[in-house]
A and B are shown apart, each in its own frame.
Chain A
Amino acid sequence: MFAGLPATGIGGIFYMALVFFMPFKELWRAMRGESSMERWMFIASRWGLFAIVIAMMWLQAMIMKWAIGADMSKFMAAGASAAAGRETQSLAGATLYLAVLSLVGVMTLVYSVRIVIAVRRALGMR
């Protein structure tokens, strides 16, 4: 995302993946003598930040689950309320599953296009 674009969406998950892979990239740099304490500190700060974000998202999910469950219970029987809770849980899971699936799909498409372009260039085609 940059200013002017609307959403975090799968971009958020992608950036999370980038942060996740930072230590591995830094290890590679360290082996080549290009790392520094400052860079490791930066990675640690990003990991810390993402840990807080994930914790807050979990908290939010719990609050939403409680809110929806409580709301439903006003209108439904106790059993239905429990079912709503499960629905909420499965809904959250489905959303995450869908987002990750979308990301994998987009990445697959991008890399496929890359291969096609590389092959066409190798063959001297435009």
Chain B
Amino acid sequence: MLFTSRSSSAEPTDQAPSARKNGDSGILPPGKVLENLSNSISESITQPAVRVGKELKSMLLDPAPVKPVARPIVAPSIRAGDKPRLLGGLTVLIPAYNEGKFVADTIRSVQRQSVHIDHVIVIDDCSTDNTGEIARSCGPEIVVIRPPKNCGSKATALNYALEYVSTEYTLAIDADTTLADDAIEKLMPHFDQPRTAAVCGMVLPRFVRTMWERGRYIEYLYAFLFYKPIQDYYERPLIASGCFSAYRTDILRQLGGWNTRTVGEDMDLTWSVYRLGMSVRFAPEALCYPVEPHNYHFMSKQLQRWCAGFAQCIKVHWKDIVGTSVLRSMVATALWDAVVSVFALFILLPLLAIFVHPAFLLGYFLDLPTIVVPVLIYAAKRGEFFKALTSIPAFWVLRFVNTYFVTRAFWNEFIGKRSVTVFEKGH
């Protein structure tokens, strides 16, 4: 039983130290806590941050297991009515770089959650827009931290904030991702098994307007509702999506946080969890809605990073993958398909169509039923049948683009030795 009602549970143990001094029970009303802490919050957050940054650097360079160095964050908890509480507590981390347009929606979706969230930390990664101000304006319980300089990647920004986490669970969401109101309530019960180290949610694009968003919409419906439940049955989701996943904080720390050696930090972390002998679960009923690339420019950046991340993770983890049941076969078949598809789509089928018979062009639609049938069934269940039906052609376009980028990524990573190291956002 992970949830308990507020009335029956103990009060939070992670209250600010200064708040404890001011009351007999150590617990103050939120307003009073805020009053007492209004000056100390910025100091407590900003000052250690510089020091932590250095520690973090050495931590990431050191491959040895890292000793947990949790420091309680100095912020009052979100208190909202009789929301159920998570035993052990939950901290939400929101890394943000120039997300002024979306970060408020993200924070509000966290505030609307049907369960109690102990802490919300926004990592304003030296944004040049007003991300930090907007985040602060969302409420006094939102802690905004700003590293001394731009972290350069989501992984580093998350690691920077991990130092402040004092709860048993840590949830990371992207700053452009909103959550369904019951997303966390649906996500957290999947930690019922002690060996579950991470749980990821279901992802659907927030906007489905342009061709690229439509293609991604079909891709997500297919990947998250067709393949991922099968992966979950065998307790081997290929990836706990970085845009919405929760972790046991002690396991995160044991792994050294989110690793920066690859640009696919979420896949890297997922496979590292498997290396520990722990499992990852998928909660299809826990919904999140990220903003997906709306044009080719941003889609290409995102695909370049994703595909390079996949290739880099294979390079880093291949020996461990081979020793991990089911995952080894999933990765091997994905790798094979990724490599062969370029040959089939760009060379074999056009040549056959030109030199043998034009009907070979139908080969492009050979697996149409395997994609269309599940997608339309799931879309119909969600009342989005026509949206899905009209989006299917966009998926075929995206597929060609995917093929190009995955081929380029594997060429660059394994043959060309031009590894992607720059973390570029998808919008």
Count of chain A residues near B, Cβ 8 A: 44
Does B329 touch A at the CB level, under 8 Å?
yes
Whether the Cβ atoms of A7 and B337 lie closer than 8 Å is: yes
B residues in contact with A103, CB < 8 Å: 333
Give the interface size bracket for B toward A: 35 or more
Q: Flag B161-184 by CB within 8 Å of A: 1 or 0 each.
A: 000000000000000000000000
A118 nearest CB across to chain B (Å): 7
Does A124 touch B at the CB level, under 8 Å?
no
A112 nearest CB across to chain B (Å): 10
Whether the Cβ atoms of B234 and A18 lie closer than 8 Å is: yes
Whether the Cβ atoms of B332 and A2 lie closer than 8 Å is: no
Distance between Cα atoms of A71 and B306 in the complex (Å): 42
Does more than half of chain A's interface fall in helix, strand or loop, or is it mixed?
Answer: helix
Distance between Cα atoms of A107 and B381 in the complex (Å): 35
Does more than half of chain B's interface fall in helix, strand or loop, or is it mixed?
Answer: helix
Q: Flag B334-350 by CB within 8 Å of A: 1 or 0 each.
A: 10111011101100000
| Contacts across chains A and B counted by CB atoms under 8 Å | 141
Whether the Cβ atoms of A18 and B333 lie closer than 8 Å is: no
A residues in contact with B229, CB < 8 Å: 42, 46
Interface residues of B in 254-283 (CB under 8 A from A): none
Distance between Cα atoms of A8 and B328 in the complex (Å): 17
Distance between Cα atoms of A3 and B362 in the complex (Å): 23
Known: A2-B227, A107-B332. 6 other contacts (CB 8 A): A4-B307, A9-B340, A64-B359, A110-B329, A114-B323, A117-B323
Residues of B within 8 A of A (CB): 216, 219-220, 222-223, 226-230, 233-234, 238-239, 302-303, 306-307, 310, 319, 322-323, 326, 328-330, 332-334, 336-338, 340-342, 344-345, 357, 359, 362, 365-374, 377, 399-400, 402-403, 405-406
Q: Can you name 19 A-B pairs with beta carbons within 8 Å? A: A1-B227, A4-B303, A4-B306, A6-B341, A10-B336, A18-B233, A46-B230, A53-B373, A57-B369, A60-B366, A60-B369, A64-B362, A71-B359, A72-B357, A110-B322, A113-B322, A114-B328, A117-B319, A118-B323
